[in-house]
Amino acid sequence: MFDVILRACRHPILYSGVRRITTLTFKEKIHETGDIYSFIFTAANLPSWQAGQHSIFTIPARPVEGKTWRPFSVASSPHENEIRIGTIVSAEPSSFKHHLSTLNPGDKIRMFGPYGELYITKKMRHVVGVAGGIGITPFRSIIADLAKNPTDTKLTLIYSAREGQHAYRGDLEKWREQNPNIEIIYTTTPEEVNAELAKQVEAYKNDAHYLLSGPPKMIEALCSKLSESGIAKDHVLNDPFKGY
Ligand SMILES: Cc1cc2nc3c(=O)[nH]c(=O)nc-3n(C[C@H](O)[C@H](O)[C@H](O)COP(=O)(O)OP(=O)(O)OC[C@H]3O[C@@H](n4cnc5c(N)ncnc54)[C@H](O)[C@@H]3O)c2cc1C
Closest residue (by CA) to atom 53 of ligand 1? 241
Query: Which atom from ligand 1 is nearest to the alpha carbon of 93?
Result: 26
Closest residue (by CA) to atom 29 of ligand 1? 94
Q: Using the mean position of ligand 1's atoms as its centre, give its distance from the Cα of residue 220 in Å.
A: 16
- Asked if residue 6 has pLDDT above 70, the reply is no
Query: Looking at residues 141-145, what average pLDDT do you find?
Result: 98
Closest residue (by CA) to atom 7 of ligand 1? 72
Cα separation, 70 vs 93, in Å, equals 13
Cα separation, 232 vs 241, in Å, equals 22
Cα separation, 206 vs 229, in Å, equals 10
- Asked if residue 14 has pLDDT above 70, the reply is no
Q: Using the mean position of ligand 1's atoms as its centre, give its distance from the Cα of residue 215 in Å.
A: 9
Q: What CATH topology corresponds to 2-115?
A: Elongation Factor Tu (Ef-tu); domain 3 (2.40.30)
Q: Using the mean position of ligand 1's atoms as its centre, give its distance from the Cα of residue 133 in Å.
A: 13
Query: Which atom from ligand 1 is nearest to the alpha carbon of 88?
Result: 11
- For 126-240, which CATH class? alpha beta
Q: Using the mean position of ligand 1's atoms as its centre, give its distance from the Cα of residue 206 in Å.
A: 31
pLDDT band at 163 (very low <50, low <70, confident <90, very high): confident
pLDDT band at 22 (very low <50, low <70, confident <90, very high): very high
Tell me the pLDDT of the chain averaged across its residues.
94
- Asked if residue 176 has pLDDT above 70, the reply is yes
Quote the percentage of the chain above a pLDDT of 70. 93
pLDDT at 8: 66
Residue 129 Cβ < 6 Å to ligand 1: no
pLDDT band at 4 (very low <50, low <70, confident <90, very high): low
Residue 150 Cβ < 6 Å to ligand 1: no
C-alpha closest to that of 146 among 78, 222, 244, 57? 78
> Which residues of the chain form CATH 2.40.30.10?
2-115
Beta bridge mates, 25 = 42, 108
- Asked if residue 227 has pLDDT above 90, the reply is yes
- Asked if residue 91 has pLDDT above 90, the reply is yes
* Distances in whole angstroms, Cα of residue 183 to Cα of each of 28, 199, 216: 30, 14, 24
Q: Is the ipTM of this complex over 0.90?
A: yes
> Which residues of the chain form CATH 3.40.50.80?
126-240
pLDDT at 171: 97
pLDDT band at 17 (very low <50, low <70, confident <90, very high): confident
Q: Give, to the nearest 10 degrees, the angle between helix 190-204 and helix 216-228.
A: 40
Residue 214 Cβ < 6 Å to ligand 1: no
pLDDT, greater one: 2 or 171: 171
Q: What is the pLDDT of residues 51-60, one digit of tens each?
A: 999 999 999 9
Residue 71 Cβ < 6 Å to ligand 1: yes
pLDDT band at 3 (very low <50, low <70, confident <90, very high): low
Q: Using the mean position of ligand 1's atoms as its centre, give its distance from the Cα of residue 241 in Å.
A: 6
Quote the percentage of the chain above a pLDDT of 90. 90
Query: Which atom from ligand 1 is nearest to the alpha carbon of 94?
Result: 25
